[in-house]
Chain A
């Protein structure tokens, strides 16, 4: 890798111009984003500093390009940020036009410092002019040369925009953008912006694990923005005003695309491809569309009319969703003969993995996999409440099973988890709500044997565990305590310790390759399997993950399938992986203000029904909450 000639990234100066040994640090070593192969980069000006790779780079022109992009991002509402950018731009142009002398640099410095100190939001404080200060400080002679006839060109540079929340979002939604639209009461515009990357806003606004909120800069001030609830408020506002449709494709293409599976990945890919004009058929094995959103998440977390409405909108754009249509065994050649040019496999991970305890293979109804239990419920199975149920596992599926059992009238619902609460993958809110509803949690316990008497499950023999060294997941490994066996009496055991894809449909002549973990193998860049024209994504590739990750897999697959059908390569993007988007030199002062909270159904009322537990925010509350956003847009401009 090429060593940097100069860097002020993150305020740390590396300067190889003054006869000093420039060292070996490349752009990646200092945390600066690096272009992928085939892309050039001579210098980069980002919110966090200036990085020069090619010592002949034209820094004043790059600065001008940065100012132009920064101006686009500035909301223009406060008195200093956008006007400051305009003033600095004018001063640079005046210097180059011979209308200002070197004194202009002093004024630029004063404005840039002032905006960083007294901008209203983090865009002004961190991004608007901070790197311009670095440029004029460390490349002063290049700027002074402007006043003596030096060149200042308007160049077309590459641009990337991110933010801590956007970076954390698997689908890279423009979160500050849609929040700002809500702040201004533009709920419909906000929803349109969300839909550009998230076609199930009402679903995701309810059931997302919201990693964006963990990344929110306000965590260090008071509380993170209620981003998930804000997304939901945009979707809710649309429903309240009658629900607007999705735009129809602008053109109709000939090549058809088949999608197997109607979960978030399949639906997102189908919709994106449909918008591009492809006729799309979605084959769904179950009698309900939506994948895990339909048969994995109970109604009290995600009412199905919300999901069905959003699927209906996708269908109305012309996507043909065929229910009760399993594609097994897969006959790709047969589909090709029917005119399908590409196939997207998004079958999810619906098969429960083995717990590894004795007696789990006996099929007597006393032991059931969590995914199967939830699927049966969603498909209308009747559940007779028993006295006691034990759920094994610590993820959201375990929680969903437990809370469903409470609603069915099981008297005693207990979750057994082999590590402690700290390592539990289920979300903290879910755990809190389950505790409120009376679910019992027993930690550091693992099942060893299922106890049956007279062919009926009566209990589960368990071992106590202690925590050892961290394992590959970073969580401390549970170690069995010898001789600690004890029996938990129960009438039903639900196992929710993991899921894998059902790939039986690929056996035979499909030739689609699998990984050692039983997931479908794809090329990282193209998302194509080893069979040309066959793509795959979502849980069946990644293993069980979140709705938003699956949805983004669908978005990406659509781009890749479109490129494949058009005979083009997918354009490489700048890799922002590992970029510290939280880094900011001056954060200024922000008065504390707690986040908006959604009203929850009273625990006593909750446990009797499958009604939605969480209420949305009112429009006024959503607009107020949106006003807390600090707009931490981070800008990168390079040539």
Chain B
């Protein structure tokens, strides 16, 4: 354990934990769009920005990817930190004005949000799907399309590699805005416009997982396909 200070209150933090975990365990609300406990921190939404004292001066830092250190001082409620979070939310709202997840967070941090029909499910480039697919699933079917010098790509986006996708649906599960659509009807599942054939549980006869996903698990674990053809409820 290391002793840290959050908004003037001393507290013990687990070694290797992040500022975000400790702030939230204090009951302080910090919004996030790009953070999830199961995947690595990315620090891209800038919504969890706080102030920390580093090299003797107060500096803005995103709580999700800042590790704690002995004696670290954190301010979540300073004017600077509040303004930084509000600006991030305001910019996100200006870009995605009708996306519910963005509107909710913008309201939460005090941005004026207009009353209008808001049912868009835009991709806000949080990258959660990319990290889930790479780090949790291991399929690596999703990646950021690169912008940069000499690569004239107008809008940033997530690229989908059809061949690598196993249809597990982790990306749809983790997506904060509902952009990643997954529809399962009968023996078919559609995700990112790729259609998967669902496997039937050999005990109860229900469709329970895409065949490609089972094949991927079989390949990764060495468990034969025949042993994987039972759904979770019947196992």
Q: Do A and B bind each other?
A: yes
* A588 close to chain B: CB less than 8 A: yes
Cβ-defined contact, B60 with A75, below 8 A: no
Cβ-defined contact, A73 with B149, below 8 A: yes
Cβ-defined contact, A189 with B59, below 8 A: no
Partner of A80, one of B87, B146, B155: B87
Interface bits B132-160 vs A (CB < 8 Å: 1, else 0): 00100000100110111111100110000
* A290 close to chain B: CB less than 8 A: no
* B122 close to chain A: CB less than 8 A: no
Interface pick from A175-183, A222-230, A269-277? A175-183
Partner of B46, one of A80, A185, A589: A80
Among A76-116, those with CB < 8 Å from B are 76-80, 82-84, 86-87, 110-111, 114
Chain B contacts for A184, CB-based, 8 A: 143-144, 146
Alpha-carbon distance A495/B15, docked complex (angstroms): 54
Alpha-carbon distance A184/B80, docked complex (angstroms): 32
Cβ-defined contact, B140 with A185, below 8 A: yes
Alpha-carbon distance A185/B47, docked complex (angstroms): 26
* B43 close to chain A: CB less than 8 A: yes
Known: A180-B146, A184-B144. A79 touches B156 (CB 8 A): no
Interface pick from B20-28, B88-96, B107-115, B212-220? B88-96
Chain B contacts for A189, CB-based, 8 A: 146
Cβ-defined contact, A74 with B147, below 8 A: yes
Alpha-carbon distance A243/B61, docked complex (angstroms): 42
Chain A contacts for B95, CB-based, 8 A: 83, 86
Question: How distant is A170 from chain B, measured CB to nearest CB, in Å?
Answer: 18
* A310 close to chain B: CB less than 8 A: no
Interface bits B161-195 vs A (CB < 8 Å: 1, else 0): 00000000000000000000000000000000000
Interface of B is mostly: mixed
Cβ-defined contact, A79 with B148, below 8 A: no
Partner of A118, one of B46, B66, B134: B46
Closest to B144 in A: A184
Closest to B83 in A: A114
Total contacts A-B at CB 8 Å:
105
* B45 close to chain A: CB less than 8 A: yes
Cβ-defined contact, B125 with A591, below 8 A: no
Cβ-defined contact, B65 with A75, below 8 A: no
* A72 close to chain B: CB less than 8 A: yes
* A66 close to chain B: CB less than 8 A: no
* A283 close to chain B: CB less than 8 A: no
Partner of A76, one of B61, B87, B156: B156
Alpha-carbon distance A83/B97, docked complex (angstroms): 13
Cβ-defined contact, B152 with A72, below 8 A: yes
Chain A contact-residue range equals 35 or more
Cβ-defined contact, A75 with B147, below 8 A: yes
* B200 close to chain A: CB less than 8 A: no
Chain B contacts for A236, CB-based, 8 A: none
* B127 close to chain A: CB less than 8 A: yes
Partner of A78, one of B45, B60, B152: B45
Alpha-carbon distance A181/B146, docked complex (angstroms): 7
* B98 close to chain A: CB less than 8 A: no
Alpha-carbon distance A87/B92, docked complex (angstroms): 10
Interface bits A124-165 vs B (CB < 8 Å: 1, else 0): 000000000000000000000000000000000000010000
Alpha-carbon distance A158/B84, docked complex (angstroms): 34
Alpha-carbon distance A154/B88, docked complex (angstroms): 28
Cβ-defined contact, A114 with B87, below 8 A: yes
Known: A114-B87, A117-B60. A76 touches B92 (CB 8 A): no
Question: How distant is A84 from chain B, measured CB to nearest CB, in Å?
Answer: 6
Which 8 residue pairs are nearest across A and B when measured between Cβ atoms?
A76-B156, A114-B87, A589-B59, A83-B91, A78-B44, A589-B61, A118-B84, A79-B88
Residues in B lying within 8 Å of A, measured CB to CB: 33, 43-47, 49, 52, 54, 59-62, 65-67, 80, 83-84, 87-88, 91-92, 94-95, 124-125, 127, 134, 140, 143-144, 146-152, 155-156
Given A86-B95, A589-B66; 12 other pairs, CB 8 A cutoff: A72-B147, A76-B125, A78-B45, A79-B92, A87-B94, A111-B87, A118-B60, A120-B43, A186-B143, A589-B52, A589-B59, A591-B65
Residues in A lying within 8 Å of B, measured CB to CB: 72-80, 82-84, 86-87, 110-111, 114, 117-118, 120, 161, 174, 176-177, 180-181, 184-186, 189, 193, 588-589, 591, 633
